[in-house]
Every structure is written in structure tokens, then in C-alpha cells.
Amino acid sequence: MSANGTIEVPISIPGSPCRILVGRGLLATAGQNCADQGWGASCALISDETVARLHGEEVKTSLENAGYRVTLLTVPPGEKSKSMRAAEDLCDRMVEAGLDRGSFLVALGGGVVGDLAGFVAAVYHRGIPFVQIPTTIVAQVDSSIGGKTGVNARAGKNLIGCFHQPRLVLADITTLSTLPDREYREGFAEVIKHAAIRDAAMLADLDPQAPRESLAPLIARNIAIKAAIVAEDEREETGARALLNFGHTIGHAIENVAGYGQFLHGEAISLGLCAALEISQRKFGLAAPDAERVRAKLAAYGLPLVLPSTLGTDALLAAAGKDKKFTAGKIRFVVVPRLGHAEMSSEVTESDLRTAIDSLRE
């Protein structure tokens, strides 16, 4: 930790240098931190309309004070902006603004903006450097780390994308104070997931009443978990990185079938975690009290445990079958035989998924 309280989280990916900083006041230092990278003189600052209104001017001013020519581009807030159409439109606007292969891109916002802008950075002039400035819990502890970028297809979430590592991540916890309560709490589904798969002791440290301005050590702890797993398996070639998908097979299906917007990402993942816990308990030996500890912590953050009756099991199974975690038609499902330890299994059947989904209605 630096003298001003900023925490630097190490990450080691061969050929993909990245600096990750967590703390307060990092929006105002964005320009200098980018200047330290030695990039070109122009950049695109991509955000959604809500975040741009709250934080865009501070980041833009910081970049301009560091000598950059900044083009601010915004998209509507929400999952619907994670589309090929939005990505194409952003690329066209960057061309019109005169941004070239010597430019870089700054993504300012939550997971939608980070995924979309990262994808644009990956394909624009076949790849330009980009910076993640995540402004939500989900983005700070999960989606801004590791280089997964992408947009949604009609058939499912994140089916179109590529790996493109950010060169710099600035997780400024002061942005959390501007989040509505629902958007703040949904992010803890990913935190609880990290506890379940890698750091069981963290469950006891999670306090829904903790002040938002106190969260830098917790954010850094979660980034370290994500960074370590990504460093083991950047492109999901060995199976280690896939462990981060605990709860996501059914969670993404719920998002898709419900229609993007009915559930926030973390809310759908909460339900997906409950389903994965049910399978882990019934078939892989997870102790019932441990499964209940995770469910209780989800409930403590106001996250859903019960699936609406309007979402049919057959529709959810069909959506799950189109998920990236299916290979050659066979599911790769993440289970936790014990808290803090996750495994990939090829023994989870469609019948298991059906039982787990139905258990969410109880």
C-alpha cells in the first residue's frame, strides 16, 4: 500500500503487462497514470450516459491536463448496449474523430461498458491499448480484470468476443458512493463466488453494513483472487480460469430468458450460485451447513434466492445449452465439493440441471 492508501495488486501474464491500482482519488490521476505508459497523444473515453454525467468530466479533464486529445463517446446504460451494433457505431465514431492505431481507449463504467469498450479496443485497427476504470463492485472485482471482452448475441450472453488485456486498471472506490443500492449490492454475488471457490475465510469478513469508503482492502483481495486465476490460465486452456464460472451457467441462462434488464447480472448470478450449490451438495459432497452459509450471505446482501415462476425450466435449459461453457454439446460445470475449493466436472447431467433449477422455486 502506498503512502496515500492506494493498493497495487500484482498480476503476471506473459506478454501482457498490466498495472492494477485500488484506492481513492484515482479518477483524478488517470491522465498521469496513462502518461506513464508512453502512449500516443489521443484517446477515446467510452462511458455510458449515466456514468459520464457523474464522472466523465473529471476523467476527461485529467487526461487533457496530461496532454491528451480526448474524444468522449457514450452509449445508453444497460445490457442492451453490449451489441455488435453498438460496437460498430463506436468504431465509426472513433474513425470520424481521427483516432488511429497510435491512439488508446479508456473504458469508464461498469461491466457493460468495460466489456463493450474492451471489445472495441481489441478490434479497432486490429488492437489498441486500453484502460479499465471500473465504477461498480462487479466491474472492480471481476469483469475489469483478465482481458475478457465481448458483446451479446441474440442466443446468449458474451458469445461474441476476444481476449484483450487492459494495460491499466484504476479501481477508484469513491465511485461506489454514487451507485444506487440495488446496483451496489448485486456486485457482492461475485465477491461471494470468489469466497466459495477460492477463499472460504472471506465469507466471515463480508459485512453488508460496512461503509462503502472502507472497501479498498476487500476489493483488492478479490482482484488478487481473480488475477491469480487468470495468470494460471489466461485463455481458459487448462480449465483453471473456468472455475470463475461457478454459478454462471444457469445465471447467464436466467439473464437471457428473463430478458436483459429484469435481473441485474449479480442477481441472476445469485440464483445461479444457489443452483450450483444444490448440485455441489447433492452430488459432490458439499456439506449442507456450508451451502447454507453461502445462501445466507447472498440473502444478507438482499440478493434473490427464489426463481420467478414465469421462467420455465425448459427455456432455461435451452438457453444454458447455448452457453460458452458447453463444448461439443457437453457441459463443463463448476462445482464446489468444499468451500474454498472448486472443480470442473463432466458428470453433471441435464437432469441435474433440471433438478437444480426446480429447487430454486422452493
* Residues recognised as catalytic: 126, 148, 190, 226, 236, 241, 245, 248, 252, 265
The continuous run of DSSP H or E covering 168 comes out as strand 168-172
φ and ψ of 129, to 5 deg: -65, 150
Q: Can you read off the three cell numbers belonging to residue 319?
A: 438457453
The continuous run of DSSP H or E covering 335 comes out as strand 333-338
CA angle 200, 205, 210 (to 5 degrees): 145
Cα–Cα distance for residue pair 196/291, rounded to 1 Å? 9
φ and ψ of 102, to 5 deg: -90, 0
What is the DSSP track for 124-141? GGG---EEEEE-SHHIII
Contact 218, 362 (CB under 8 A): no
Burial category of 233 from C-beta neighbours within 10 Å (exposed 0-12, middle 13-18, buried 19 and up):
middle
